[in-house]
């Protein structure tokens, strides 16, 4: 059977530390101002602000990157076929083809895609991350690839490697023996905006 890569994020474990967000920037040579992976605070009006009135409070963190939807709206709207669903179930971008029309950004209900409005600015000035990460120029849309360069070499996405809370698991959803499949059997899982029919391949355990 073909692979269907997916991710399971345990929100009970997640502590909203942004290590996944920073790891992603480092591994994928993401420039200043852009994040492929963000940690949202579900609660009050801003980052880390809870909802409710002291001491009756609630707060939860929600890390969000590309959901690698099975029924990906971004793939449907891309006029040049730059965004595509690959045989292993990932939503990927051929950056050479991208014309920067940003239809995909409008179509994505998760706001997972970011656009190079300007010449990418990096600190440090040199390119960083693993070899094999595609170069992106000004005028293209970019996003999470489940660290294709690492996964295709037998590894795992870098956010999974670095997560201090060990909240992130990655694997083949089609393989019943995989850790992600096991977790989905054992614990109730949810996907974001299920009513949109996008069928994300990122699951959240709560």
Partner 1 sequence: MSGRISRRTFLKGAAVLAATSGVSWSATKAYRWLSPAEAAPLAREEKVVRTVCSPNCWQTCNHLVTVREGKVVKIAPAPMPDPEYNRICLRGLTHIQRLYHPDRLKYPMRRIGERGEGKWERISWDEALDFIAGKFKELRDKYGPQAIAVVHQSGNYGLLNGGYGGAYRFAGVLESVLASGSVDQAVSIGFSSALGTGIFDAYCNECADWVNARTIILWGSACAESQINEWHFIWEAVEKGAHLVVIDPIYTTTAQKAHTWVNLRPGTDIAFALGMLHVIITRGLVDKEFTLNKTCAPFLVREDNRLFLRQGEKPLVWDTRSGRAVPYDTPDIVPALEGQFEVNGVKCTTAFSRLKTVVQDYNPAKVAEITGVSPEVVVKVATLLATNRPGGIKFGFGADRYHHADLLGQAMITLLGLTGNIGKSGNILGMFFAGFDPMVYNVNWLLPRGTSPKMLPLIQLQDTVIRQNPYPIKAFYITCSNLLVQTSDRNRWLREVWPKLELVVAVDQFFNNTLNYADIILPAAHYYETEEIVLSGDVPYVLYRQKVIEPLWEARPDWEIYRGIASRLGLGQYFGSIEEECAKWLDMPLMRQQGIDYQRLKKEQAIRFLPKPYIPWQDGKFKTPTGRLEFYLEKKVPQGEELPVFKWPLEAGPDSPQAAKYPLILITRHEKFRVHSQYENQPWLREINPEPFVDLNPQEARKRGIGDGDLVEVFNDRGHVTLRCRYNEAIPPGVAHIQQGWWFYRDGHHQELTHARYKENTLNYSFFDVRVEVKKV
Of the candidates 71, 76, 80, 118, which one interacts with partner 1 according to CB under 8 A?
118
Map the footprint of partner 1 across residues 58-117, applying CB under 8 A.
59-62, 64, 95-96, 98-100, 109-112, 114, 117
Residue 156 binds partner 1, judged by CB under 8 A: no
Nearer of residues 135 and 176 to partner 1, judged by Cβ: 135
**Which of 149, 164, 157 has the alpha carbon at shortest distance from 202?**
157
User: Whole-number minimum distance, CB 29 to partner 1, in Å?
Assistant: 8
What CA–CA distance (Å, rounded) separates 31 from 95? 15
Residue 1 binds partner 1, judged by CB under 8 A: no
User: Whole-number minimum distance, CB 32 to partner 1, in Å?
Assistant: 4
Cβ atoms within 10 A of the Cβ of 70, count?
Answer: 16
Kindly give, in sequence order, each residue whose CB lies less than 8 Å from that of residue 121, ignoring residues fewer than 6 positions away: 31, 32, 33
Of the candidates 131, 154, 177, 186, which one interacts with partner 1 according to CB under 8 A?
131
Of the candidates 8, 72, 140, 151, which one interacts with partner 1 according to CB under 8 A?
140
**Residue 95 phi, psi dihedral angles, 5° rounding:** -65, -20
User: Whole-number minimum distance, CB 8 to partner 1, in Å?
Assistant: 14
Nearer of residues 176 and 187 to partner 1, judged by Cβ: 187
Classify residue 118 by burial, with Cβ atoms within 10 Å: 0-12, 13-18, 19+: exposed
Of the candidates 91, 133, 144, 205, which one interacts with partner 1 according to CB under 8 A?
133
User: Whole-number minimum distance, CB 46 to partner 1, in Å?
Assistant: 7
What is the DSSP track for 154-174?
T---HHHHH-TT--EEEEETT
């Amino acid at each position: 059977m073909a692979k269907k890569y997916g991710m399971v994020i345990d929100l009970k474990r997640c502590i909203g530390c942004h290590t996944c967000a920073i790891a992603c920037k480092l591994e994928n040579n993401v420039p200043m101002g852009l994040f492929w992976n963000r940690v949202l605070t579900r609660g009050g009006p801003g980052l880390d602000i809870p909802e409710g009135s002291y001491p009756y409070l609630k707060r939860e963190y929600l890390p969000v990157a590309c959901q690698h939807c099975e029924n990906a709206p971004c793939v449907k709207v891309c006029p040049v076929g730059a965004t595509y669903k690959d045989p292993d179930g990932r939503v990927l971008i051929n950056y050479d083809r991208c014309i920067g029309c940003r239809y995909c950004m409008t179509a994505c209900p998760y706001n997972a895609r970011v656009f190079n409005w300007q010449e990418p600015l990096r600190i440090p000035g040199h390119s960083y991350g693993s070899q094999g990460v595609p170069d992106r120029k000004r005028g293209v849309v970019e996003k999470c690839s489940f660290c294709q360069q690492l996964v295709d070499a037998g590894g795992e996405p870098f956010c999974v490697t670095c997560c201090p809370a060990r909240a992130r698991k990655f694997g083949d959803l089609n393989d019943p023996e995989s850790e992600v499949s096991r977790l989905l059997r054992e614990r109730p899982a949810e996907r974001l905006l299920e009513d949109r029919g996008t069928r994300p391949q990122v699951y959240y355990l709560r």
